[in-house]
């Protein structure tokens, strides 16, 4: 949280033999500038979906991005596919 803007990131890790390994870095998954009071502030969020994979295969991840105005946060609108911070 800085200057009224909240940003969160997400990373999926595996832990094996006491070591962490990054499976997938999703980058930024939320950004909420509503508390900043800046005109045009909005909330952004990512919906992550995991696909089905066969034995020994890594599933694919689908990343959908949504945005909502600060005044009516219940009205989320789909805006894009892929990492939010790109």
Cβ neighbours of 32 (radius 10 Å): 20
User: Along the 86 residues of the chain, how does pLDDT read in single tens digits?
Assistant: 567 889 999 999 999 999 999 999 999 999 999 888 888 889 999 999 999 888 888 889 999 999 999 886 678 999 999 988 65
The pLDDT value recorded for residue 4 is: 84
The pLDDT value recorded for residue 46 is: 96
The pLDDT value recorded for residue 53 is: 85
The pLDDT value recorded for residue 48 is: 94
The pLDDT value recorded for residue 57 is: 87
Q: In degrees to the nearest 10, what's the CA dihedral of 22, 7, 83, 48?
A: 70
């Amino acid at each position: 949280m800085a200057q009224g803007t909240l940003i969160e990131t997400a990373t999926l890790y595996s832990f094996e033999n006491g070591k962490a390994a990054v499976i997938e870095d999703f980058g930024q998954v939320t950004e909420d500038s509503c508390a900043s009071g800046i005109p045009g502030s909005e909330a952004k969020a990512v919906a992550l979906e995991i696909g089905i994979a066969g034995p020994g295969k890594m599933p694919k991840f689908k990343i959908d991005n949504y945005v909502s105005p600060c005044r009516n946060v219940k009205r989320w609108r789909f805006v894009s596919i892929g990492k939010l911070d790109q």
